[in-house]
Structure 1
Amino acid sequence: MFKNIVSNLVSLLKYLVRWMLVTTPVAVAIGSMVAFFLWLLSWAIHFRFAHTWLLYLLPAAGAVIHLLYKWYGASAERGNNLIIDEIHQPGAGVPKRMAPLILITTVITHLFGGSAGREGTAVQIGGSLANWFGSLFKLDGGDKKVILTAGVAAGFGAVFGTPLTGTIFALEVIAIGRIPYRSFFACLVAGYVGDITVSLWGIHHTLYHIDIVNTGQTFYGIHLPLGLWLLGKVVVASAVFGGVSYAFARAVHMVKNFSLKWIKITWVIPIIGGLVIITLTYILGKPDYLSLGVDAEYPGAVTIVSAFQHAGADAFSWLWKLIYTAITLGTGFKGGEVTPLFYIGSTLGNSLAELMNAPVGLFAALGFIAVFAGATNTPIACTLMGIELFGGEYAIFFAIACFTAYFFSGDGGIYLAQKTALSKTELAKTKYLKRMFGKYRL
C-alpha cells in the first residue's frame, strides 16, 4: 500500500511538472503577443479619436478584411469556432496564420470605427500559438486538446487581466453543462502566466469601481445579509440580462445569414455594413457606439466606465451597441463579442437601476458579467470575473445574476461550435429533480 501511495504521488508530481514545463513557454508567447495586440489596439483607437474622418473609410476597410481572409485566411475564417471544434475533435489543426491575421484585421476594424471586441482576437492568438507549440512538442491527440484549451485560457486571462476567469472560461465554453477537469491545471498555469506576461510588458487593464452598498435588511427584528427587496430586483434584472444575451446572439447570426442570402457578391457585404454604421452614427449625432466603448472619445461620452455612474448611459445605449455590433460582426469585420457584451450589459444595468431605484454601480457590474454569461453559457467563469474585477463583497449577487441570465438566455449562444452536454431545458427533467419533487409535474 505504501509503495502504491508513493508511486501515485510520483506520477502526480511528474504530471504537474510536465504540464507546467509545457504550458509556461506557450503562455509566455501568447501573453507577449496579446500585450502587443493591446498596445496596437489602444494606438488605433486613440488615433481614430484624433482623426474622426477615418470612419468614412470603414466600408473600404471592410473590403480589405474580406479580401485578406479570402486570399490568406483558409479555415482561419471560422475563428473561435474552429478552435472549439479542434478541442472537441482534433483534425486539420489551427493554421499558424490565424494569429497574425486576426490581430491585423481586428486593429483595422477598430482603426476605422467598427464596433467589435478583443476577446475573439486573444482567444484565436492563444489557439493558434498553442497549436503550433503542440506540433513542436509532438503532443498526441489528447494532449493537443489540453494545450489548445490552455491556449484559450492564456489568451482570455491575458487580454482582460482575469487569469482565474480565463481558466474556467476555457473549460466551461467547450460544452454547455460539462467541465473537462483534465485540462484544469494546464489552464490555470496558462491563465496566470499569460496575465503576468502582459503585466511585465507594462500593459495595464481598465479598473472599475462599485460604490459601497448596504445589501442587508432587517426583517421582523432579524438581520438578513441579503435584502429581499434588493434580491428581487437583481433576479428581475438578471432575467432581462439573459433575454438581451439571447437577442444579441440571434442578431449577429441573423445579420450574417441575411447578408449571405441576399447579397451574392460577398466583398460587397462589409461595404454595406460599413455604410450602415456611418449612417447610424450620422443620425444619432455621436460616435459613442463605435469601437470598444472603454475609453471616452470626448467628455460625457457613454462608455463602459461611465455606466457605473448615475446618468452615465442613455436609456437605450445598450440597444444601440447591440445593433452596431451585430452589423459589424455580422457583415464580416473582425474582433470579439465580449467587450461589446460588457458595454451592453453595463449600460443596460445602468438603465435598469435608474428604473428600479437600485444601486447603479452594482447593477452595472451585474449587467457587465451577466449578459456575457448568457451569451457564452459560462456562468461560473463570469461569476469569477465579477469577483476578480469588482471584488468579492457582492459575490452572491454575481452568482445569482450570472446563473439567472444563463437560464433565461436559451440553449444557444454566440459560439456555434459549442456543444451541449446538458441543455438548460433537460436540466429540469433530470431524475434528481423528479426525485426531489416527485409528486409534482415538472
Structure 2
Amino acid sequence: MKRIYNSLEQFSITVNLLKWTLYVIPVSLTVGSLVALFLWLLEAATRLRWQYEWLLLLLPLAGVVIYLLYTYLGKNSDAGNNLVMEEIHQPGAGVPARMAPLVLISTVITHLFGGSAGREGTAVQMGGSVANLFAKWFKLNEQDLRIMLMTGVAAGFGAVFGTPLTGAVFALEVLAIGIIRYEALIPCLMAALFADITTSAWGIHHTHYHIGFIGSNKPDLRFINVDLLLLVKVIATGVAFGLASYLFAESMHTIKNYANRFIRIKWLIPVLGGLLIIALCYILGTTDYIGLGVTGKEPDSVSILSAFHAGGATNWSWLWKLLFTTITLAMGFKGGEVTPLFFIGATLGNALAIWLGAPVDLFAALGFIAVFAGATNTPLACTLMGIELFGSGNALYFAVACFTAYYFSGHSGIYSAQRLMVSKVQGDALQKENTLKQIRDKRIAKRKIDRSK
C-alpha cells in the first residue's frame, strides 16, 4: 500500500510539472521576445541621445507625454512593480495587459531624452502583465494565478540581465522579507531559463563582466581558507553598501512624497524633474549620470564598466548617480531602479577599494550586487547574480557583502509592497506582515508625535 501511495505521489508531481511546463512556455516566449524588443529599442534610444545631445533639453516635455499616457491610458498601471507584487500577495483587479506596452514605450522615452533609469522594472512589469493575460486565458484559480505572476517576474528579470538562476530566486525572494515561496520554484526556474533563451535567440547580447582578482592561496591561518584582512574589508564595505541602499530607497520615497504634496498641478512634477536633471548636467559639466550608465559615450566616461578599473570613477560618482536616478523615478519618469543601483554600487566599491587598498575590480563587483541586495532585500538572489555574472571564484565574498548590506539597509527598500515576514532586528515582531510602505508611514507618524511632545 505504501509503494502504491509513493507511486501516486510521484505521478502527481510529474503531472504538475508537465502542467506548469505547458503554462510557462507561452509566457516565457512572449516575455523573452518583448524583452528582446525592449533591449534593442533601449540601445537605439541611447545611441540616438549620444548622437543628438540636444534631446536632453526636451526631457521636461517627455515627462508630460509620459504623464498623459498613464493618466488617460494607464488605468492602475502607474503602480508598476508594486502592483504586480500586490496581486501575487492578494489577487484582485489583476495586472492590466496595457501595462506591458505602456511601460515599454514610456521607459524608452525616458532613456531617449536623458532620464536616469534602469531596465528591471520594465521587464518585471511586462512579465507580470503577460503572465496575468495568459492566466485569464487559461482560467487559472487564485493559487495558480499567484504562481503564474511569479513566473512572469522571473521571466522578465532573468531575460533582461541574462541571469536565469537569479531571476528565478529573485521572484521567490522579493515578495516578502525573510521567507521564500518554494511552491513556485520549478515554474520560476523554467520561466527564467526559457525567457533568457528566447531573448538570446533574437540576437540580443548581454554585457560581459570580468574580475581579474583571484583569492589568495596563502590563507592567514592553515585552518581558515580565506584572507582574513580582505574579509574584514568586505564586511566594512558591506555596511557602506547597505547604508547606500537605505539612502537610495528613502530618497526615492521622500522626493516622491514631497513632490506630490507640494506640486498640485501633477503634470508639472515631471517637468520640474526634467529641469532638475538638465540643471545638474550643466552644473557638473557631464552627462555621465543620465541613461543606463552601463557604458559611456566617451572612453573616459564614468560608467559601470569603467568602475572596474582604478580611476574609472570619482569619489562621489555613486552619490551623483543616486541623485539623478531618484529625481528621475520619483518625479514621474519610468524605468527600473536596478541598473542605476549597479552603477551606484560599482562606483562606490571603486572609491572604497582605493581608500582601503583593496582590489578595485572585486570591490566594484561587490558593490554592484550588494547595493542591489540591500535596496531589494534579496541577498540570496544577488549572491547568485554575482556568481552568474562574475564567476564562482569569489562566491564567499559575494555572500558576505550581500548579506551585510541586506541587514544594514534596515526595514527599507525600493518596493513599497514588499512585506516584512521576519524582522532584521531580533525580538521585533510588532511590524510583522506589514508592507514596507506601512512600516515607513508608522515611522513617520511616530516622528511627528515625538516632535509634538
TM-score range, shorter chain: over 0.9
Structure 2: which amino acid aligns with 1:414? I
Name the amino acid aligned to 2:7. Answer: V
User: How far 1:25 moved relative to its partner?
Assistant: 1.1
Counterpart AA for 1:387: I
Residues 427 and 33 of structure 1: is their aligned pair in 2 closer, same or farther, counting only changes over 3 Å?
farther
- What does 1:302-317 align with in structure 2 at a 5 Å threshold? 302-317=302-317
For 2:164, the equivalent position in structure 1 comes to 163
Q: Deviations over 1:233-285 (max 9, x none)?
A: 00000000000000000001111001011111000010000000000000100
In the other structure, the counterpart of 1:141 is 142
In the TM superposition, 1:155-304 aligns within 5 A as 155-219=156-220, 222=222, 224-304=224-304
Query: Are positions 1:359 and 2:359 aligned together?
Result: yes
TM-score computed with the length of structure 2 as normaliser: 0.93
8 Å CA contact retained: 2:220, 2:226 = no
Contact 2:99 2:126 in 1 (8 A): yes
8 A contact 1:342–1:372 mirrored in 2: yes
Aligned twin of 1:331? 331
Distance 2:118 2:70 in 1: 18
Alignment of 1:104-119 (within 5 A): 104-119=105-120
Amino acid at match of 1:308: F
Q: The residue matched to 1:314 in structure 2 has which SS?
A: coil
Q: What is the CA–CA distance in structure 2 between the aligned matches of 1:219 and 1:337, rounded to whole Å?
A: 39
CA–CA distance in structure 2, aligned partners of residues 376 and 242 of structure 1: 11
Give the secondary-structure state (helix, strand or coil) at the position aligned to 2:251. Answer: helix
Aligned to 1:434: none
**Aligned partners of 1:213 and 1:224: how far apart in 2?**
17
Does the 8 Å CA contact 2:215/2:394 hold for their aligned counterparts? no
Deviates more, 1:158-167 or 1:290-299: 290-299
Q: Tell me the percent identity.
A: 57
Q: Secondary structure at the match of 2:412?
A: coil
**Cα distance, 1:2 vs. partner?**
1.4
The separation in 1 between residues aligned to 2:423 and 2:374, in whole angstroms, is 13
After TM superposition, the structure 1 = structure 2 runs for residues 367-378 of structure 1, keeping only pairs within 5 Å, are 367-378=367-378
* Other-structure match for 1:436: none
CA distance in 1: counterparts of 2:42 and 2:427, whole angstroms:
41
- 1:66·1:267 contact (CA, 8 Å) conserved in 2? yes
- Quote the residue 2:381 is aligned against: 381
Give yes or no for contact 2:114–2:291 (8 Å, CA) kept in 1: yes
| Displacement of 1:427 | 6.5
AA at the equivalent of 2:253: H
Q: How does 1:117-132 map to 2 (within 5 A)?
A: 117-132=118-133
Shift of 1:224: 3.7
Structure 1 stretches of 5 or more lacking a match? 430-442
Separation (CA, whole Å) in 1 of partners of 2:64 and 2:154: 31
| Aligned position for 1:61 | 62
Aligned partners of 1:30 and 1:129 also within 8 Å: yes
Q: Secondary structure of the equivalent of 1:426?
A: coil
Separation in 1, partners of 2:26, 2:96 = 19
Q: For residues 241 and 254 of structure 1, do their structure 2 counterparts lie closer, same or farther at Cα, with a shift above 3 Å needed?
A: same
Cα distance in 2, alignment partners of residues 219 and 245 from structure 1:
32
Q: Deviations over 1:348-392 (max 9, x none)?
A: 000000000000000000000000000000000000000000000
Contact 2:338–2:372 (8 Å) recurs in 1:
yes
User: What is the SS of the residue equivalent to 2:264?
Assistant: coil
- List per-residue Cα deviations over 1:75-129 (Å, max 9, x = no partner): 0000000000000000000001000000000000000000000100000000000
Aligned to 2:406: 406
- Is 1:97 matched up with 2:132? no
What's the CA shift for 1:218?
A: 4.2
Q: Give the whole-Å Cα distance in 1 for the aligned partners of 2:128 and 2:244.
A: 29
Partners of 2:75 and 2:13 lie apart in 1 by 40
Q: Distance in 1 between matches of 2:151 and 2:343?
A: 27
Q: Distance in 1 between matches of 2:213 and 2:255?
A: 41
CA distance in 2, matches of 1:237, 1:411: 19
Q: How far is the alpha carbon of 1:226 from its aligned partner?
A: 1.0
Contact 2:219 2:228 in 1 (8 A): no
Superimposed CA distance per residue, residues 208-233 of structure 1 (whole angstroms, 9 cap, x where no aligned partner): 1111333344436x374211110000
Once the 2 structures are TM-superposed, how far is the Cα of residue 426 of structure 1 from its aligned partner?
Answer: 3.5
Note the 1:39-54 alignment, pairs <5 A. 39-54=40-55
Residues 217 and 223 in structure 1, CA contact (< 8 A), matched pair in contact too? no
CA contact (8 A) 2:213 2:359 kept: no
Whole-Å Cα distance in 2 between the matches of residues 240 and 216 of structure 1?
A: 27
Q: Distance in 1 between matches of 2:274 and 2:239?
A: 33
Q: Which amino acid aligns with 1:82?
A: L
Give the equivalent residue in structure 2 for 1:3: 4
Work out the CA distance in 2 between the residues paired with 1:212 and 1:243.
Answer: 25
User: Following TM superposition, by how much is the alpha carbon of 1:412 offset from its aligned partner in structure 2, in angstroms?
Assistant: 1.6
1:18 match: secondary structure = helix
Distance, in Å, in 2 between the alignment partners of 1:310 and 1:137 is 53
Does the 8 A contact of 1:289 with 1:324 survive in 2? yes
Contact 1:217 1:228 in 2 (8 A): no
Query: What TM-score do the two structures reach when normalised by structure 1?
Result: 0.96
Query: Match for 2:309: what amino acid?
Result: Q
- Contact 2:154-2:188 within 8 A present in 1 as well: yes
Give 1:83's aligned residue.
84
SS of the residue corresponding to residue 100 of structure 1 reads helix
Structure 1: which amino acid aligns with 2:77?
Answer: A
* SS at structure 1 position matched to 2:76: helix
